[in-house]
Amino acid sequence: MQNTPVSSLVGEEYEVEVGPVAHGGHCIARTEAGRVLFVRHALPGERVVARVTEGEETSRFLRADAVTILDPSKDRVEAPCPFAGPGKCGGCDWQHAKPGAQRRLKGEVIAEQLLRLAGLTPEEAGWDGTVMPAEGDKLPQGEVPQWRTRVQFAIDADGHAGLRKHRSHEVEVVDHCMIAAPGVSELGIEKRDWENMASVEAIAASGSGDRQVILTPKPGGRLPLVELDKPVSVLRVDEKDGGVHRVHGRAFVRERADDRTYRVGNGGFWQVHPKAAQTLMLAVMQGLTPRKGETALDLYCGVGLFAGAIADRVGDQGAVLGIESGKRAVEDARHNLAAFPRVRIEQGKVESVLPRTGITEVDLIVLDPPRAGAGKQTVHHLAGLGARRIAYVACDPAALARDLAYFAERGYKVRTLRAFDLFPMTHHVECVAILEPVK
């Protein structure tokens, strides 16, 4: 018996009415036959011609691009960036929407995820439904916030720098990224030939004048002599062990938050928006209200941003334990927080290290997990430590909602939730939820 070949629907076009926004930078639509489309470059309420980019006859849903706008939304604008649009750069999701509309769409996604995955209305989550722009990001129409202090450029077969197309390894060659921070743009990465390189990451620290590029060679590729438009440190990714090694200049950049300088080495994690670290740190401290002498956990602590802020506020009689999996980040955190003798940083995965610490109670907890969230096991462990307040920093509203449901199972409710638009033009959004035990 022969298998019937599955027919691809890529390239098929459907005229559709666009429905609500969905998590991931697209909207939902249905064909006349009832087939679900996830449509990019559209807005709710529009009538568009959607061209399928992914999917087959047997697929549960199809992915598509809006290639013709028949009835535009009042929130639609012409994308300021020439590289944004169907089949082009995949870095931005909402260039075609007014900034205020982008924030409303993100708010609708957060609300939908909270209700579907945690059973919470905005009121029950202590959230007013708004997504706040970062300071300085409210600009006249047509101007774009230049916020990306870290940009990873992909290199095409001819050595030209560009950015990946959506859900693709294909490279859209660009001569400028509009959302790149001025410190990245001034390096002139896009003007150079990067033969033998697979990618070039550019970092422009917002807390100092430090500039850095991290080169990932193609297998067997030799490093070029890097001559850019501004002084810059150079690092390379080793093709054998994946480690990052210094070529010349500093192996770290210096960032600032809470009136403290943080060393971030080897391309380690730091918030990409120049205002993000300070914004999130203040939201966490305002939510936790640390008191002198309290004990705290900072989980997935990176280079110690929240641990440092808490240590400053709990004083010499307090204590903070940070847990971080990255070896270089742990070294940086210990360096950054050396002035606080009552801060300890442990290396390893949270789910492995936390049970080994023997900690049975703590006053405060802050966690800033990766996009997948903390997960049921870790959440249940944390809920058993009796913290009077927990701050959950989340870059993914779906993961946040799932983990809030796990906290609810163990007696913690959301006191307040705040949302920040720290990734303008994209679908990403940052949330800070403050939890406390149910009385």
| Pair 436, 390: CB distance under 8 Å | yes
| Pair 392, 373: CB distance under 8 Å | no
| Pair 61, 22: CB distance under 8 Å | no
Tokens of 180: 């790149």
Contacts of 123 (CB under 8 A, 6+ apart): none
Phi-psi region of 411 (alpha: psi -120 to 50; beta: other; left: phi over 0): left
99-113 and 397-409 are packed helices; what angle lies between their axes, rounded to 10 degrees? 30
CA distance 189 to 175: 9
Strand partners for 143: none
CA distance 263 to 329: 9
Alpha helix ranges (H) inside 260-418:
276-288, 305-314, 327-336, 350-356, 376-383, 397-409
Q: Is 395 a catalytic residue?
A: yes
Number of H helices, E strands in the chain: 8, 22
Which of 81, 177, 395, 431 is labelled catalytic?
395
- Looking at residue 39, its amino acid is V
Q: How far apart are the first and last CA of the chain?
A: 64
**CB count, 10 Å around CB of 421?**
24
DSSP per residue, 77-110: ---SSTT-STTSBSS-S-TTB-HHHHHHHHHHHH
Consecutive H or E run containing 388: none
Catalytic residue set: 395
